[in-house]
Amino acid sequence: MKSYLGKLDVFSIVLGSIIGWGSFMLPGTKFLKESGIINTSLGLLLGAFCIIIIEHNYRIMMEDHDEEGGEFSYTYKNLGRNHGFIVGWFLLLAYFTMIPLNSTAFPLVIEKIFGSVLKFGYIYNIAGMDVYLGEVLVSNFIVIMFAYINIKGINKSSKIQNIIIFLLVTLVVGIFIFMFFTVDKNIVLDSYIYNYEFNLGQVLTTFAITPFAFVGFDAVPQLSKEFNFSAKKASVVAILSLLIGTLMYIILNIITGLAYSPQEAQALDWALGSAVLDNLGKIGFLLLVIALSAAVSSGINGFIISSSKLIGSISDYNILPNKFSKLNNKGVRINAIIFISIVSLVAPWFGREVILWIVDMSSLGASIAYMYVSYISFAKSNTFKDKFMAISGTCISILFILLLLVPTSPASLGKESLIALLSWILLGFIFNKICKVKEYKSLTSK
């Protein structure tokens, strides 16, 4: 008999996909300098509230549609091949970018502990970022390790994920408590509280990245064949994961703000790490590094699982080669995992700055998927509440898209990210045409 994932297993996979490298780095590089503590928290909470509305439409999807592939297969069945391809193509972008983003964070973790030990084998400089063989090898090793774990079966990878997530949440909460009772409160009061002013632009700047921050919540429909509880209970698991993930982002930002003003945090390479090191010493810093390692590991593992499910589903619909649907004796789409791993092994060779340009597009990819699910769910809704949530989810998704694409928006994509986005769209258009030609020839030859 098949061994199904329990609610805790699904919770760990989803939360691990939500909390990754960004939650530990963004406080110093983005949150404090752009929005402070309160406006950042408001932006994250507003984003979480909007994602919960969208998640309601995902529940409607799961009640009507019990297939791997989630948003892709749901759109394909209801709106046809072209729209299904658009959702699958952009969702792949959102998932794929998260794996190398997290894997290239491991060399940063090692650098914080051992200095420049990995800066050997200088290769070249891309976009102002030096690429070293040592850092690439570590990033690749991490991807290979989690690919191997997933090839051994989702039950094994989910149990490891449970341990990682327990460690992550416990350490973050513990560090926050110790920091709160250790630091001089005058820094946070003078920098973020006494002179606080509500600023809608600052709130929206944080709000706009919530599809990137919370993209992992939609791992639930990708896992639909791996658990045997109701869509309603799965929805509760997703919302709980989302709320705890939001809390983790807010806590990590506050920890950094307890120690530094926005200007001080911006000047530091890793403001959160410096804050803990300066106030809790090496032991506290070591615990933070373990927490970061857990976050990065859980992110890689979660997105390998989701990506393999998505690729397998796209293959089932004959958009990708059928070999990606192949299952091993553990019920794992082994060729899909190998393909994901190869892409993730190549990415670190382009340098972290280029990866970040592509990651910036992941919010757009996720938002497009959210929009389609919400739009289709309107037609599936039977009650006023469901129809209202579907309309709201569609409008929220469009707002996310506009915030990223309108040049005057406080959260608009940079020039490099827009060029990468156009390249991805062009590549998708060509690939879709090629697939249609092959499909037509296959049908006419029968």
- Cα 375 from Cα 391, distance rounded (Å): 7
Using DSSP, state whether 401 is helix, strand or coil: helix
State residue 22's pLDDT score.
Answer: 80
Candidates 44, 98, 90; CA nearest to 70 is 90
The CA-based diameter of the chain, rounded to the nearest angstrom, is 77
Q: Per residue in 330-374, pLDDT tens?
A: 778 889 889 989 988 988 888 877 777 776 777 788 889 999 999
Residue 304 contacts residue 337 (beta carbons within 8 Å):
yes
Structural domains in the chain plus CATH codes: 7-444 (1.20.1740.10)
Is residue 270 exposed (0-12), middle (13-18) or buried (19+ Cβ within 10 Å)? Answer: buried
For residue 146, what are its two tokens?
A: 């989690």
In which residue ranges of the chain is pLDDT below 70?
A: 1-3, 359, 437-446
pTM of the entire structure? 0.87
CA angle 260, 262, 268 (to 5 degrees): 65
Length of the chain: 446
| Residue 123 backbone phi and psi in degrees, to 5 | -105, -60
State residue 441's pLDDT score.
Answer: 57
State residue 440's pLDDT score.
Answer: 54
Candidates 218, 271, 222; CA nearest to 241 is 218
Average pLDDT over the chain reads: 86
Q: Per residue in 365-418, pLDDT tens?
A: 888 999 999 999 999 998 999 999 999 999 999 998 888 888 887 778 888 888
- Cα 16 from Cα 215, distance rounded (Å): 11
DSSP state of 247: H
| Residue 141: CB atoms within 10 Å | 13
- Cα 51 from Cα 242, distance rounded (Å): 8
State residue 439's pLDDT score.
Answer: 62
